[in-house]
């Protein structure tokens, strides 16, 4: 009961204030604008460099069609993508009708840059076909990874892996950068509102107060992270469906994503606690500013670590070399799951450590009136 009362109060103060509301509206707008600008730029660069090879029954006709429109043509071994020219493809391209293409990637080009290729290809082909609209692209691209053994992995598994590898890291890092704020502001509001002593003198266990603050900060971080991820989804939805497009199905496991996000946010809360501890041991507004800078650095570092641990990049590349098709992707999926479970436990562990630190912190803060005054002065300075 008391925990619920405290949690509700914390959530209200964290979510229903001007700063939080503004950030919930502004952050998605900034992400959308910045994201779209960068995607457009990447498309522009990639499009100009793409070289295409054409195979299949109508290869010659399609090659002529593309050549006349200034597309770089080459042999399949050197091509960035290979188009299989099935019967009817040329007609559809000429008329600007939807076409379905298989796009082959060479293994060595498996990188973040290569993920932009489907969009570039879509845009290129849409341009060729006289349609430059990206919102409703007429080209549907399916991903196929070409292994050195000559075999190809195609379908949702490859799509899921590659999407998680390269795209998931961005919203997680964004979430991590912004999620430390609730933890810090929860504590800071108590100082600036001068409510900390009244709260601590109530008949409530310190652990309950610390846990309520901690949970509220995490929930707030998840809400903000959720809004950011939604903004990312909205941005990515402008890409063609398939590999380049981001959907929950493509991510494979929404729960894994939530666990990963939670783990990053938990790390952020932990970092925020550390920063507060630093500010207590080194009182003064400068130390507090330094501590906040440290949080940002720790946050980005931890987020990067968490992302690469949860979605192991290096082992994936090695596993992809497996001579047996699909073994690599299956192992990677299993690793992802294990990583997510491990992170679930890490979240719990971090939560316990963090609660302990917060409790110590409360006691320590009250021991030093100077740091309390410094914190208040710093907050006033910020405002």
- Binding residues (CB under 8 A) for other proteins: these are 1-2, 5-6, 9, 12-13, 16-17, 189, 193-195, 197-198, 200-205, 363, 366-368
**Strand partners for 82:** 53
Nearer CB in complex with other proteins: 2/34: 2
Nearer CB in complex with other proteins: 21/29: 21
Whether residue 204 contacts residue 31, with contact meaning beta carbons closer than 8 Å, is answered with: no
DSSP single-letter state for residue 242: B
Whole-number minimum distance, CB 2 to other proteins, in Å?
6
Whole-number minimum distance, CB 181 to other proteins, in Å?
16
Q: How far apart are CA 188 and CA 192, in angstroms?
A: 6
Nearer CB in complex with other proteins: 198/352: 198
Whole-number minimum distance, CB 16 to other proteins, in Å?
7
Nearer CB in complex with other proteins: 21/324: 21
Nearer CB in complex with other proteins: 95/370: 370
Whether residue 88 contacts residue 52, with contact meaning beta carbons closer than 8 Å, is answered with: no
Whole-number minimum distance, CB 325 to other proteins, in Å?
58
Nearer CB in complex with other proteins: 349/366: 366
Is residue 282 helix, strand or coil?
Answer: coil
Give the CA dihedral 119, 121, 122, 124, nearest 10 degrees: 120
Whole-number minimum distance, CB 308 to other proteins, in Å?
39
Whether residue 118 contacts residue 243, with contact meaning beta carbons closer than 8 Å, is answered with: yes
Report H helices in the chain.
Answer: 2-15, 18-49, 59-68, 89-95, 112-115, 117-128, 156-166, 169-192, 196-200, 206-236, 248-251, 254-281, 285-310, 313-320, 327-367, 369-382
Whole-number minimum distance, CB 294 to other proteins, in Å?
23
Whether residue 174 contacts residue 296, with contact meaning beta carbons closer than 8 Å, is answered with: no
């Amino acid at each position: 009961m008391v925990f619920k009362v405290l949690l509700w109060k914390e959530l209200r103060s964290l979510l229903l204030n001007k700063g939080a509301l503004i950030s919930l509206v502004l952050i998605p707008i900034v992400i959308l604008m910045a994201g779209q600008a960068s995607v457009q730029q990447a498309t522009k660069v990639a499009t100009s460099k793409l070289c295409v090879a054409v195979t299949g029954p109508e290869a010659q006709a399609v090659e002529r069609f593309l050549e006349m429109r200034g597309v770089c043509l080459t042999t399949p071994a050197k091509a960035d993508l290979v188009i299989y020219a099935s019967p009817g493809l040329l007609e559809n391209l000429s008329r600007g009708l939807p076409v379905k293409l298989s796009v082959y990637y060479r293994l060595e080009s498996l990188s973040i840059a290569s993920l932009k290729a489907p969009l570039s290809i879509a845009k290129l082909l849409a341009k060729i076909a006289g349609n430059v609209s990206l919102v409703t692209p007429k080209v549907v691209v399916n991903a196929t990874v070409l292994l050195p053994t000559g075999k190809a992995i195609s379908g949702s598994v490859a799509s899921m892996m590659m999407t998680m590898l390269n795209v998931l890291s961005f919203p997680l890092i964004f979430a991590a950068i912004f999620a430390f704020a609730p933890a810090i502001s929860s504590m800071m509001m108590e100082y600036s509102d001068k409510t900390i002593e009244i709260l601590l003198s109530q008949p409530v266990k310190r652990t309950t107060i610390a846990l309520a603050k901690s949970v509220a900060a995490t929930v707030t971080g998840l809400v903000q992270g959720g809004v950011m991820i939604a903004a990312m989804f909205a941005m990515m939805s402008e890409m063609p469906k398939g590999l380049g497009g981001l959907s929950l199905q493509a991510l494979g496991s929404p729960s894994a994503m939530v666990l990963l996000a939670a783990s990053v946010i938990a790390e952020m809360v932990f970092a925020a606690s550390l920063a507060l501890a630093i500010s207590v041991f080194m009182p003064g507004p400068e130390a507090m500013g330094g501590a906040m800078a440290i949080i940002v650095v720790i946050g980005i570092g931890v987020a990067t670590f968490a992302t690469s641990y949860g979605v192991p990049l290096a082992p994936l590349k090695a596993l992809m070399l497996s001579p047996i098709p699909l073994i690599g992707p299956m192992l990677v999926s299993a690793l992802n799951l294990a990583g997510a479970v491990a992170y679930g436990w890490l979240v719990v562990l971090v939560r316990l450590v963090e609660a302990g630190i917060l409790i110590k912190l409360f006691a320590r803060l009250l021991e030093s009136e100077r740091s309390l005054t410094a914190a208040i002065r710093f907050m006033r300075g910020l405002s």
